[in-house]
Amino acid sequence: MSDAAANVSLSTKRFEDCTIAEQQTLLANKHVSAVESAQSYFAQADRHANLNIYITDARESALARARVSDEHIANGTARALEGISIAVKDNYCTKDIRTTAASRILENFVPTYESTVTQKLLDAGAILTGKTNLDEFAMGSSTESSFFGPTINPTGEKLGFKTLVPGGSSGGSAAAVAAGFAIAALGSDTGGSIRQPASFCGVVGFKPTYGVCSRWGIIAYASSLDQAGVFAKTVGDVAAVMDVICGGDAKDSTSIENQNLAFKQALTQPPRKLRIGFPAQVLKAGATADTDRVWQRARDIAAHIGAEIVDVSLPTFKSALPAYYVIALSEASSNLARYDGVRYGRRASNPRDIIDMYEKSRSEGFGPEVRRRIMAGTFTLSAGYYDAYYLKAQKVRNKIVHEFAEAYKQVDLIVMPTTPSSAFAIGSHAKDPVEMYLEDLYTVPVNLAGLPAISLPVAHSSSGMPLGLQIIGRQLSDELVLQAAARFEAAVKALG
C-alpha cells in the first residue's frame, strides 16, 4: 500500500492490518479519511486484479459514500460502521449496482431495490466496495462455476501456489478479506458457503442461526437453508458487522423478531467454563491428515482455555450430506423457476415460439452445474419420487435437528473441522460432481439444523495452507459462539 492511508499507522500496525475498532479510531482522529481508506482498498484491488475477486467493483458509489462518511465524521455524527469498507457477495441485490449471482442469465441485471442486510450496512455508514465472485447461484464449493471465471486463492498465491481455489460459494468474499480488498465481507451460507471459503483462505467466517439475518433481497438458492453472514480477519470484526446486520425483518417471514443479540458487547463479558462436544461419529468420518491436525489443535485449545471436553453422539451425521443435496436441489429447482427470460434476466434471441424462448433462455443462461441441479431437484420433487427422496431427506433432517438438541443437553458447543482438506487446485474436482459435494461433509449438518457456526483458522496443512475449525452452537446461542471463538482465537495466538 503506497497511499495516504497506508502511511498511517496505529502504534506499529499498518492501516490495512487494523481491526474495525482501530480503523474507527484513526478515522475519528482524522489520521485518515474515509475517502483515503476506500482509495487504499481500491489500490490494493487494482494491484491484485489477477485474483478475479470482484465481478463488479463499485468504486464510484463507494467513493461518493466515503465523502458522505467524512462529513459525518467531521460533524461528530459518525454511525456504527462509518467509513468502514465492506465487500458484498454478488447474490445480494444492490440498488443501481449490477447483481449477477455469477450467472449469465443475470449478467446485466441491475436491481431497483436494496437487500435488507446491505441496506443496514449503508444506513450504518459502511462503504460497499464491490460485488464479489461466487459459484453460479451460490451452487458450489470452489467459485469455479462462476460465469465470470474462477477466483484465485490469495493465501495460496502468497505461498507460491498460483492455482488454488478460494473455496465457495462465497469464494470472492473470503478472498476479498484475505487479499485486503476490504476489511470485512458479506457472504451467504446454504451448506457451508461462508465457513468453507473462510477455512481455505485463512479468515474468520460466521454463519448465524437461521433467521438471525434477513434473507430479503438475497438471490435465493435453498430458502430453508440460506443465511447471510460475515467474513473478517478477527472475531471482533465479525461481531461489529453482525451487530449492524442482524435483526428481524417484516419482509422475511422466516427472520427472527426480538433477538436481543449484542455481539460486541457479548465479547466484553467475563469468560465462563465451557463444555465442548467432540462428536464420535464425526471424528471417524472422512478423517484425513488435515482433519487430524484440526482435531488435535481443537484439543490443545480446549485444554489451554480450561474447557471440559465431552464425547457427544451425532449418529445420523453421515446421512446429512445426501439429505442436504436432496433438499437444497429440490428448493433450488423451485426457486430458479422464476428465471424464464420473460420478466427480467437474459432472453434468448429469435425463439420459434414461447416454449422455445423459455427453453433457450434457460439453457443458454444457466451453466452446467446449475442445470444439473435444477434437473435433479425437479426429479426429487416429482410424483412417484417425492416420497422416496424429498420426504426421506426431510425425515433425516428432523433426526439431525433432534440429535443436535440431545447433544446440547450435555455441552455448550460442538467442534469439528470445517473441511476435509485445505484448498484444492482449480480443475481437480471437475470430473465428478460428487467429489465437489463431499467437500461439504462437515458444514451441511449445521444448515439442516439451522444452527450458528463459525470457522476459525487454527492450523495449517503440510504445505502451509490454512485449516479452519468450526465452533457450532445451539439455536440462537450466536453470542456464545462468538465469545468462544474469541477465546479460541486468543489461544491460537498464544499456542503459536
Rounded distance between C-alpha atoms, residue 233 and residue 237, angstroms:
7
Active-site residue 169, yes or no? yes
| Residues 182-221 interacting with ligand GLN (rule: CB under 6 A) | 189-193, 221
Order of strands across the sheet with 127-132?
54-57, 127-132, 85-89, 184-188, 228-232, 204-207, 453-460, 466-473, 413-417, 275-279, 308-312
Beta carbons of 166 and 153 less than 8 angstroms apart: yes
For this structure, is 13 an active site residue? no
Does 148 help bind ligand GLN (rule: CB under 6 A)?
no
In the complex with ligand GLN, the residue whose CB is nearer, 104 or 372, is 372
> Does residue 140 belong to the site contacting ligand GLN (CB under 6 A)?
yes
Least distance CB 375 / ligand GLN (angstroms): 15
Instruction: Name the active-site residue from 89, 120, 264, 360.
Output: 89
> Cβ of residue 84: shortest distance to ligand GLN, in angstroms?
25
Alpha-carbon span 375 to 398, nearest angstrom: 25
Catalytic residue among 33, 115, 142, 169: 169
Query: What does each C-alpha distance from 161 to 206, 323, 327, 460 come to in angstroms?
Result: 26, 34, 35, 15
Nearer to ligand GLN, 189 or 290 (CB): 189
Q: Catalytic residue, from 33, 85, 170, 193: name it.
A: 193
**In the stretch 440-479, what mask flags binding to ligand GLN with x, by CB under 6 A?**
x---------------------------------------
Q: Does 151 bind ligand GLN (CB under 6 A)?
A: no
Match 466496495 to its residue by C-alpha cell.
129
The residue among 86 and 134 lying less far from ligand GLN, judged by its C-beta, is: 134
DSSP conformation letters of 251-320: TBTTSPSS----HHHHTTSPP---EEEEEHHHHHTT--HHHHHHHHHHHHHHHHTTPEEEEE--TTGGGH
For the segment 305-364, give every residue that binds ligand GLN (CB under 6 A). 328
CB of 140 to ligand GLN, least distance (A): 5
Which CB atom, from 169 or from 418, has the smaller least distance to ligand GLN?
169
**Catalytic-residue membership of 193:** yes
DSSP 461: -
Among 24, 33, 132, 169, binds ligand GLN (CB under 6 A): 169
* The three cell numbers locating residue 52: 478475479
DSSP secondary structure code for residue 5 in this structure: H
CB-nearer residue toward ligand GLN: 19 or 428: 428
Contacts of 171 (CB under 8 A, 6+ apart): 133, 134, 135, 142, 143, 150, 151, 153, 165, 197, 200, 201
With respect to ligand GLN, which residue has the nearer C-beta, 192 or 202?
192
Q: Note the residues at the interface with ligand GLN (CB under 6 A).
A: 138-141, 169, 189-193, 221, 328, 440
List the catalytic residues: 89, 169, 193
